[in-house]
Amino acid sequence: MSQGFVHSIKVPRLYKTAATIVKKVAEDGASLKQLIYEKNHPNLKGIYALATTTLQHGTDLNELIRETKLLINEPRLDPWLARVLITELIWGKRTIKGDAKPLHTILNYETKIRQVFETIDQHEKPQSTIKSTERKPRYVRINTLIKKLDEAIEDFQDEGYIFIPRSCTYHEYLDVLSTLDGWKFTQDYHIPELLVFASGTTFYDHLGYKNGAIILQDKASCLPAYLLNPESGSNVLDMCAAPGMKTTHLAAIIDNKGKVFSVERCQRRYEILCNQVSTTHANCVETMNVDAMTLNENKCPDVEYILVDPSCSGSGMQRFTFEGEQSKCAPGRLRSLQSFQVHLLRHALTKFSKVKRVVYSTCSIYPEENEMVVDEVLTNVGDAYKLVPVMTLLNDGWINLSSNEFKCKDNCLYAKPEVDYCNGFFVAVFERNFDVPLPEGRNKNKGLKRNAQDDCDEVDIKEEQSNDVQIDDNGKNLTVKVEESDEPVKKKRKKNKNKCNEVITQEVADEKLKEEDNADVTSKKKIKKEKKIDKSSGDNVDEQEIDINSNEMDIVSKKKHKKKKKDKINEEELIINNENEIISMEIEESNVSSKKKKHKKNKKDSNEGTIIEEGVDEDSTSKKKHKKKKKAKSDIE
């Protein structure tokens, strides 16, 4: 029986879609933004606002549902749809319109819901983490391939926005961001083509957003391409490119002069990447739908700059659970991610001899994915590369750096939401030392390749298909998965082997039958001449069961042989296969066994005075057989 309502009037798509997204985020830990942008819904902004608000007020919603006994009294009401509808009623539009039954059910409880809501202690809400998200400003990167920066600033001013000149120091810049509101906007301190607007400013309906002139991209996501800083006319490789923000930023930095190899393994994400490249007029980009671990100088010639931004835990993105708390990455999954990240970064550093600079970045705040990865790879490559202190690249205009507890010291960059007003991020910059040869290929890499790729598959399943990957906290997920996947394969192979044996057995049986028929045809001539049957075939028959005269047996056997052989000769051609000695031996044994059965059957028929003929077809020979039966019976009598 169905668990939900059977509607004569459908629930509005906005509510159904938001409910599905909230359920997957709450139950599976899926990415909220990824789920939203997967939906082909005309009102993505509305879905995002409704789903986000529902997740932020998870604790209040649970209490409202518990106190009103909504789901107890209405067991057929979908609990996640109920939460979305209550959110719309209390924190959204303050009303819900429609004739679908779930909407009417919530409206019937509206008075009770509002009464309970008034009694909820507002001070107990988990607002601390939500505030940091709400105050984060809106970043807009100007696509200089379509529009010049000065023109873009003038256009925004013409639309009524108030421009605040670029700050002189990073601390001054942070102060400006903390007070940015209304129609004010400014220019980023580090990245000139990045403009900063007040939190909550929307551009989804803006003409520049639709035609690719402006790109909604967080500052943390812009830092890797900015720090890689490829020269115009050079060849650049983006190893994990989708959805294409960093790739198109690199294309703008080199001004479409040169080439950007943009690589994405997942087919669906690859299509998104291609669409982004086309929209932004990044004509120098060559997209590649391949695994980054298969890349080399033959596939991507003359590469001088590489951006490595692999799959990660996303811990810097502030993804919230339904209770409004920061979601955490399982230790097992974290170790698996680290293994893949090390492998991919090592591949980038060692497989391209002309590379000058490599940037490694993650949207994670965990050392396991950041400093520990950098330390391990530096040990592998030796003096062939060195870390470039990011403070020298940013003119000392940064606050949070990597920890001195690691070998990489404070040479790497950390972006922290509560300080830098952007997503959590990590960036490390490697520069090639051409006086030292690159290390030779290591067998360890080859051994890790499959496991690393398996982990990449798991990460992509979680991030792209929105299904949580269950990974053992002990860090043995890859081994377990391989064992679980190998066992069905072995069973399948065994099954296929049995099936093959069955086919061979059937073929042997057919050959036996044909050989038997042929042998019987040959014996027919002997019967005519000798009027007796080969007694040797019945040596093992129980003598106590044979009481009939041998002459009677000869006659009955002769008649039966004639009838059976004639019928089978009419049905099919006789084929004799003498090539396999083993099959021939089995055929001989089968003939002996068959004759034993025939003798026993004939003896039984003789004692009863009736001979039962088997295998007789209803054809034109039935009359002759009937006469033969009568004659055999009279001979016996």
Spell out the domain ranges in the chain: 13-125, 131-215, 219-329+351-438, 500-636
Asked if pLDDT for residue 31 goes beyond 60, the answer is yes
Instruction: With CA atoms as reference, report the closest residue to 253 among 224, 274, 273, 279.
Output: 224
b/e for 593-631, b at 16 or more Cβ within 10 A? ebbbebbeebbebbeeeebebeeeeeeeeeeebeebbee
Q: What is the pLDDT of residues 556-602, one digit of tens each?
A: 455 555 555 555 444 444 444 444 444 445 545 555 455 544 454 45
Q: What is the pLDDT of residues 252-287, one digit of tens each?
A: 999 999 999 999 999 989 999 999 999 999 999 999
Q: Is 363 a catalytic residue?
A: yes
Asked if pLDDT for residue 476 goes beyond 50, the answer is no
CATH class of 219-329+351-438: alpha beta
Asked if pLDDT for residue 182 goes beyond 50, the answer is yes
Considering only residues 443 and 103, tell me which one the structure prediction assigns the higher pLDDT.
103
Q: Which of 240, 312, 363, 422 is catalytic?
A: 363
Considering only residues 124 and 388, tell me which one the structure prediction assigns the higher pLDDT.
388
Non-local CB neighbours of 566 within 8 Å, separated by 6+ positions: 621
Q: What is the pLDDT of residues 598-622, one digit of tens each?
A: 454 454 444 444 444 444 444 445 5
User: Does the annotation flag 264 for ligand binding?
Assistant: yes
DSSP state of 545: G
Q: What is the pLDDT of residues 396-432, one digit of tens each?
A: 899 999 999 999 999 999 999 999 999 999 999 999 9
Token digits for 535?
Answer: 């007694």
Q: What does CATH list as the number for 131-215? A: 3.30.70.1170
Non-local CB neighbours of 42 within 8 Å, separated by 6+ positions: none
Q: What is the pLDDT of residues 503-543, one digit of tens each?
A: 444 444 444 444 544 545 444 444 444 444 344 444 443 44
Token digits for 269?
Answer: 């994400």
CATH class of 13-125: mainly alpha
Q: What is the pLDDT of residue 458?
A: 38
Instruction: With CA atoms as reference, report the closest residue to 453 among 244, 261, 294, 288.
Output: 294
Average pLDDT over residues 354-372: 96
91-105, 219-233, 394-408, 435-449: segment of lowest average pLDDT: 435-449
Do 219-329+351-438 and 131-215 fall under one CATH topology? no
**Helical spans, DSSP H, in 231-369:** 245-253, 267-279, 331-350
User: Does the annotation flag 291 for ligand binding?
Assistant: yes
Q: Give the CB-side neighbour count of residue 95, counting CA atoms within 13 A.
A: 2
Residues in the chain: 637
Asked if pLDDT for residue 5 goes beyond 80, the answer is no
User: What's the CA gap between 41 and 34, in Å, rounded?
Assistant: 13
Asked if pLDDT for residue 494 goes beyond 90, the answer is no
Q: What is the pLDDT of residue 442?
A: 54
Residue 213 contacts residue 145 (beta carbons within 8 Å): no
For the chain, percent of residues with pLDDT exceeding 90: 50
Asked if pLDDT for residue 127 goes beyond 50, the answer is no
**Helical spans, DSSP H, in 351-433:** 371-381, 390-393, 417-420
